[in-house]
Amino acid sequence: MATTSIRIDSSLYEQAKQDAFAEHRTISGQLEFWAKVGRAALDNPDLPVSFIAESLASLAESRSDAMPFIPMSAK
């Protein structure tokens, strides 16, 4: 991935820095995540933003850490 410099508001940077720490992302990764959520929200206005954010976050997680789905009827 190419690195490009952009200018953003310092308050947005500080918010990204705080959220990145909490979410174990880099600041660039946090800004990229927000951009992906925003793009997906614009493309899918009928979906709640929280659903979009959680879906994108889950796609980034390792599949080896995932728990298999076991229907209640199978227990």
Segment 38-66, tens digit of pLDDT: 999 999 999 999 999 999 988 887 888 77
Which amino acid does the sequence have at 61?
Answer: E
The residue extents of the domains of the chain are 12-58
Question: What pTM value is reported for the model?
Answer: 0.73
The answer to whether 33 touches 40, Cβ cutoff 8 Å, is no
C-alpha to C-alpha distance for 55 and 52, rounded to whole angstroms: 5
Q: Which three-class secondary structure state does DSSP give residue 74? A: helix
